């Protein structure tokens, strides 16, 4: 059995640095490693609709944005199948069968679902808008995500830490299905980012997570001047007032970003007085190193990383029909794989009644 990757993103906005260090950069490395037989990267529009039912046009308009982000970071459609979730109707059929293997109580215990319910105020009966109450589709999205993963018989799911409960839930569904029917589904493994700083990149304000709703993001498609301003305004160490004061690294967003982005060659190129990040950190904690200097260095590092991505984005932006052609071809190809799995699933469940073998058993007393 070969190794297969399936992963994806909800198209609710352009992708930012949190997505980049948490998953996009890794996907490109995995693609380039040649170790995988197939790589599927999905734009999860149907999942995005589970909590954006009031704003479907946001989801629709961000499909192209996310596809542009994919192509510009270096996902290559000749090696990675890029597709749109809603175009694969087999996924909803799998979801419907898997629903019988999962209890309402188990979904209620899913930490990600719990957290999202609290965050969105779905449970707040006083809410004036239509968010009072939990949409059934939203509640069931972990099951639909299990369908996404298993439809492609994915062995490996590279995602951020927040997706861990989804993968665990998928594994449970696989085990239950295989035990109940026949072992046709593959139990996937999660692949988390390798650097700790990449697990959950904080926003530029130092808040827990880079998130569109908090307005603390640096987007892959931001222009250089916007990025510079965001970096120069970043949260550092509030007790580091004079340059000579000893600085603290913990919770210091600028250093967290350096942990996520910088390599020794960046020092050679932009700050040759230091050989590596450890030296810079030592000076900062000792005192005598100002925030502005560190921020300027971070800016140079981030600009260097994003420059080629932005340049490629410009090229693809000039040819949107090509972008949709990539998605159409990818969706056609993904559908074939999902259809083969659905056939296996129906056969395992013995609900492929008109298969001559099965039919014989059905019509003979």
**How far apart (Å, rounded) are the C-alpha atoms in residues 349 and 177?**
9
Q: How far is the CB of 226 from ligand TRP (least distance, A)?
A: 24
Long-range contacts of 203-208 (CB under 8 A, 24+ apart): 203/253, 204/230, 204/231, 204/233, 204/234, 204/235, 204/253, 205/234, 205/235, 205/253, 206/234, 206/235, 206/251, 206/253
When asked if residue 149 is in the footprint of ligand TRP (CB under 6 A), the reply is yes
When asked if residue 334 is in the footprint of ligand TRP (CB under 6 A), the reply is no
Residue nearest to ligand TRP (CB): 44
When asked if residue 62 is in the footprint of ligand TRP (CB under 6 A), the reply is no
Q: How far is the CB of 166 from ligand TRP (least distance, A)?
A: 6
Q: Identify the residue among 148, 222, 237, 305 touching ligand TRP (CB under 6 A).
A: 148
CB atoms within 10 A of CB 3: 14
Location of structure tokens 């399936």: 6
Contact 219, 15 (CB under 8 A): yes
Q: How far is the CB of 10 from ligand TRP (least distance, A)?
A: 5
When asked if residue 6 is in the footprint of ligand TRP (CB under 6 A), the reply is yes
Q: How far is the CB of 88 from ligand TRP (least distance, A)?
A: 11
Q: Identify the residue among 4, 9, 88, 217 touching ligand TRP (CB under 6 A).
A: 9
When asked if residue 346 is in the footprint of ligand TRP (CB under 6 A), the reply is no
Q: How many residues bind ligand TRP (CB under 6 A)?
A: 13
Per CB under 6 A, the segment of 6-14, 29-37, 225-233, 285-293 that binds ligand TRP is 6-14
**How far apart (Å, rounded) are the C-alpha atoms in residues 181 and 348?**
5
Distance of CA 159 to the CA centre of its chain: 5
Dump the DSSP string for 95-156.
HHHHGGGS-HHHHHH-HHHHHHHHHHTTT-TT-SSTTSS--HHHHTHHHHHHHHHHHTT-SE
Per CB under 6 A, the segment of 73-81, 93-101, 156-164, 266-274 that binds ligand TRP is 156-164
Q: How far is the CB of 148 from ligand TRP (least distance, A)?
A: 4
Cβ nearer to ligand TRP, comparing 6 with 342: 6
CB atoms within 10 A of CB 109: 12
Distance of CA 252 to the CA centre of its chain: 24
When asked if residue 145 is in the footprint of ligand TRP (CB under 6 A), the reply is yes
Contact 301, 274 (CB under 8 A): no
Q: In a 10 Å sphere around its CB, with 0-12 CB exposed, 13-18 middle and 19+ buried, how is residue 270 labelled?
A: middle
When asked if residue 44 is in the footprint of ligand TRP (CB under 6 A), the reply is yes
Cβ nearer to ligand TRP, comparing 89 with 244: 89
Cβ nearer to ligand TRP, comparing 110 with 204: 110
When asked if residue 348 is in the footprint of ligand TRP (CB under 6 A), the reply is no
Q: Which residues in this chain contact ligand TRP in the complex, by CB under 6 A? A: 6-10, 44, 47, 145, 148-149, 157, 159, 163
């Amino acid at each position: 059995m070969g190794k297969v990757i399936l992963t994806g993103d909800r198209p609710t906005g352009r992708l930012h640095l949190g997505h980049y260090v948490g998953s996009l950069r890794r996907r490109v490395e995995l693609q380039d490693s040649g170790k995988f037989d197939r790589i599927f990267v999905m734009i999860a529009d149907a999942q995005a609709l589970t909590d954006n039912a009031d704003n479907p046009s946001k989801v629709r308009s961000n499909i192209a944005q996310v596809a542009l982000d994919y192509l510009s970071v270096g996902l290559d459609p000749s090696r990675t199948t890029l597709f749109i979730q809603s175009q694969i109707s087999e996924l909803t059929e799998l979801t419907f069968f898997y629903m019988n293997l999962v209890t309402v109580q188990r979904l209620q215990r899913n930490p990600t679902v719990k957290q999202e319910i609290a965050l969105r105020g779905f449970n707040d009966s006083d809410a004036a808008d239509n968010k009072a109450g939990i949409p059934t589709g939203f509640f069931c999205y972990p099951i639909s995500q299990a369908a996404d993963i298993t439809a492609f018989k994915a062995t490996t799911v590279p995602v951020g830490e927040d997706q861990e409960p989804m993968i665990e839930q998928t594994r449970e569904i696989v085990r239950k299905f295989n035990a109940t029917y026949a072992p046709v589904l593959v139990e996937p493994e999660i692949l988390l980012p390798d650097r700790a700083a990449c697990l959950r990149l904080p926003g530029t304000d130092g808040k827990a997570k880079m998130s569109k709703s908090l307005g603390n993001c640096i987007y892959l498609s931001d222009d250089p001047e916007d990025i510079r301003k965001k970096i120069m305004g970043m949260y550092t160490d509030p007790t580091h007032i004079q340059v000579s004061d000893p600085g603290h690294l913990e919770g210091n967003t600028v250093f967290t970003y350096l942990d996520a982005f910088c390599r020794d060659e960046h020092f050679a190129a932009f700050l040759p007085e230091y050989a590596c990040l450890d030296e810079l950190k030592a000076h900062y904690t000792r005192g005598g190193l100002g925030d502005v200097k560190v921020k300027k260095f971070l800016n140079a590092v981030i600009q260097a990383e994003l420059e080629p991505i932005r340049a490629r984005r410009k090229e693809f932006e000039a040819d949107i029909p090509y972008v949709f052609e990539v998605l159409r071809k990818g969706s056609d190809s993904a559908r074939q794989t999902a259809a083969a799995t659905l056939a296996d699933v129906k056969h395992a469940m013995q609900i492929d009644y008109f298969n001559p073998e099965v039919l014989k058993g059905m019509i003979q007393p």
